[in-house]
């Protein structure tokens, strides 16, 4: 079986599909990722064959050009309310319209039996419909976006679908959802479960980070993704670093690109600032995670059964954080003012470390995720679908 994978041009949109690609290849199937170089770089780094379609996208340019110096999106616009979720995906409707021809040309040459797309890549369903083969959509994680945006996508892409000989934007034949039941968004259409296998990119963890913290110390990881810093997040990092000052029994590990380290100011003795390291390489020996509510970071932290402090910044991250809190596994600071207050951040960190109810809830999420079918098991469903 030949499986073509498509993704919108953010590597973090593609990463949740990597374990399924590995499972397909491990079962003897041929996989190729067709995407812009923003994604194909990540695919090749993960050992997955890829074909470049189009030029590099530079997706953050859309957000950066509206930001005043030193101001991050949350400070400028506030949290994204549910009623604005549909509008947040307009970019991907346009993206699908203009890339579908190139994807279809490649697919006709390569001859896939099945197309697998992540949740915002709408061209996959159009290409599959034109070729008369099944399509599969794979969610990143918590999904407040697909449901509200579907009607808009059907309308915007109707003409494109018609020119391909279709009656409209087809629905996927199968929708894969890696979220445990407690984190499934109420607006999201029901999907078939697929177990989340933690993968956060390639890299090497330092030896000291692969060992537990010293006796009596609790290790907290701070990982806000690469986009947060690029979108003027240095001040937020300074607040978080300052929150750990004087916590004698807490060791903080802050992951961030080296180019930004100098902007964090004085760092307390119990804080180590390191270059990005894939979370799945070292979370086993940690006690809590401070993060931005990104889909893959959220599910990775849950899969290790860790309580979390969520500091959402843009779009779907707010819904992800709220569901985590509702499940009892996290504290959320959802607005700029408390996020910028080291005292509020410190209070939230100590709460998830000291209140065992958060740990209990986090472990329940972990156990629910462990019970979901593995990507290797889901491959059997894809084989039947393609047949």
Residues 60 and 155 in one domain: yes
Instruction: Give the DSSP H/E element, type plus range, for residue 254.
Output: strand 250-255
**C-alpha span between 111 and 102 (Å, rounded):** 14
Is pLDDT of 62 > 80? no
Is pLDDT of 81 > 90? no
The average pLDDT across 236-263 equals: 96
Query: Residue 201: inside a domain, yes or no?
Result: no
Residues 190 and 278 in one domain: no
User: By C-alpha distance, which of 301, 121, 320, 290 is closest to 196?
Assistant: 301
Residues 266 and 336 in one domain: yes
**C-alpha span between 386 and 19 (Å, rounded):** 19
Range of the domain at 275: 207-370
**C-alpha span between 310 and 357 (Å, rounded):** 16
* Max CA separation in the chain (angstroms): 66
Q: Of 19-28, 198-207, 348-357, give the lowest mean pLDDT range.
A: 198-207
Q: What's the start-to-end Cα distance of the chain, in Å?
A: 9
Query: Residue 232: inside a domain, yes or no?
Result: yes
Percent of the chain clearing pLDDT 90 (strictly above): 93
Is pLDDT of 86 > 80? no
Question: The CATH number of the domain where 190 resides is what?
Answer: 3.40.50.2000
Is pLDDT of 7 > 80? yes
Read off φ and ψ for residue 33, nearest 5 degrees. -100, 125
Query: Residue 313: inside a domain, yes or no?
Result: yes
Q: Is 313 helix (H, G, I), strand (E, B) or coil?
A: coil
User: By C-alpha distance, which of 160, 106, 170 is closest to 132?
Assistant: 170
The average pLDDT across 70-75 equals: 92
Tens of pLDDT, residue by residue over 139-164, are 999 999 999 999 999 999 999 999 99
Query: Residue 156: inside a domain, yes or no?
Result: yes
Residues 324 and 381 in one domain: no
Per-residue pLDDT band at 84 (split at 50, 70, 90): confident
Sign of the C-alpha dihedral computed for residues 338, 341, 342 and 344 taken in this order: negative
Residues 159 and 285 in one domain: no
Q: How many domains does the chain have?
A: 2
Is pLDDT of 88 > 80? no
Q: Please provide the average confidence, as pLDDT, over all residues in the chain.
A: 95
List the alpha helices (DSSP H) in the chain.
11-14, 18-26, 37-45, 61-64, 73-77, 90-110, 123-131, 146-156, 158-163, 225-230, 234-243, 295-303, 317-326, 336-339, 342-354, 356-370, 375-386
Tens of pLDDT, residue by residue over 290-333, are 999 999 999 999 999 999 999 999 999 999 999 999 999 999 99
Is pLDDT of 65 > 90? no
Tens of pLDDT, residue by residue over 20-37, are 999 999 999 999 999 999
Per-residue pLDDT band at 94 (split at 50, 70, 90): very high
**C-alpha span between 233 and 267 (Å, rounded):** 16
Residues 158 and 211 in one domain: no
Query: Residue 50: inside a domain, yes or no?
Result: yes
Query: Residue 202: inside a domain, yes or no?
Result: no
Query: Residue 275: inside a domain, yes or no?
Result: yes
In terms of pLDDT, which residue wins out, 74 or 84?
A: 74
The average pLDDT across 214-220 equals: 96
Q: Output DSSP code: residue 190.
A: P
Residues 297 and 346 in one domain: yes
Residues 299 and 377 in one domain: no
Residues 291 and 349 in one domain: yes
Read off φ and ψ for residue 49, nearest 5 degrees. -60, 145
Query: Residue 319: inside a domain, yes or no?
Result: yes
**Dihedral-angle region of residue 377 (phi above 0 means left; psi in -120 to 50 means alpha; beta otherwise):** alpha
**C-alpha span between 148 and 288 (Å, rounded):** 32
Residues 43 and 133 in one domain: yes
40 has which bridge partners?
Answer: none
Instruction: Give the DSSP H/E element, type plus range, for residue 201.
Output: none
Residues 48 and 168 in one domain: yes
Residues 269 and 357 in one domain: yes
């Amino acid at each position: 079986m030949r499986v073509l994978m498509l993704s919108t041009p953010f590597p973090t949109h593609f990463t949740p599909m990597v374990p399924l690609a590995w499972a397909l290849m491990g079962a003897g199937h041929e996989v190729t990722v067709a995407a812009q170089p923003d994604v194909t770089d990540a695919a090749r780094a993960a050992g997955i064959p890829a074909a470049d379609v189009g030029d590099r996208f530079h997706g953050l340019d859309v957000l950066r050009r509206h930001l005043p110096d030193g101001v991050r999106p949350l400070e400028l616009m506030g949290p994204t309310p549910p009623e604005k979720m549909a509008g947040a995906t307009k970019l991907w409707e346009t993206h699908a319209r203009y890339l579908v021809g190139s994807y279809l040309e490649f697919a006709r040459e390569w001859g896939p039996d099945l197309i697998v797309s992540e949740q915002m890549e709408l061209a996959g369903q159009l290409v599959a419909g034109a070729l008369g083969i099944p399509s599969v959509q794979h969610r990143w994680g918590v999904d407040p976006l697909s449901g509200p945006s579907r009607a808009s996508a059907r309308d915007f892409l109707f003409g494109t679908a018609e020119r391909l000989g279709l009656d409209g934007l087809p629905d996927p034949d199968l929708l894969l959802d890696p979220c445990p039941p407690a984190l499934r968004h109420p607006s999201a259409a029901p999907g078939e479960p697929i177990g989340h296998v933690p993968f956060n990119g390639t890299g090497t963890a330092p030896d000291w980070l692969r060992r537990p913290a010293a006796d009596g110390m609790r290790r907290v990881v701070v990982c806000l993704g690469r986009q947060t810093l690029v979108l003027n997040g240095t001040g937020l990092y300074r607040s978080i670093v300052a929150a750990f000052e004087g916590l004698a029994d807490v060791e903080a590990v802050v992951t961030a690109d080296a180019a930004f380290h100098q902007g964090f100011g004085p760092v307390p003795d119990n804080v180590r600032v390191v270059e990005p390291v894939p979370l799945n390489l070292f979370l086993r020996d940690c006690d809590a995670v401070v993060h931005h509510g990104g889909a893959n970071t959220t599910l990775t932290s849950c899969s290790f059964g860790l309580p979390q402090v969520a500091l959402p910044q843009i779009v779907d991250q707010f819904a992800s954080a709220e569901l985590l809190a509702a499940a009892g596994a996290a504290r959320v600071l959802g607005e700029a003012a408390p996020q910028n207050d080291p005292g509020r951040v410190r209070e939230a960190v100590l709460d998830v470390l000291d209140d065992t109810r958060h740990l209990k809830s986090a472990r329940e999420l972990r156990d629910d995720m462990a019970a979901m079918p593995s990507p290797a098991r889901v491959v059997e469903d894809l084989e039947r679908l393609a047949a």
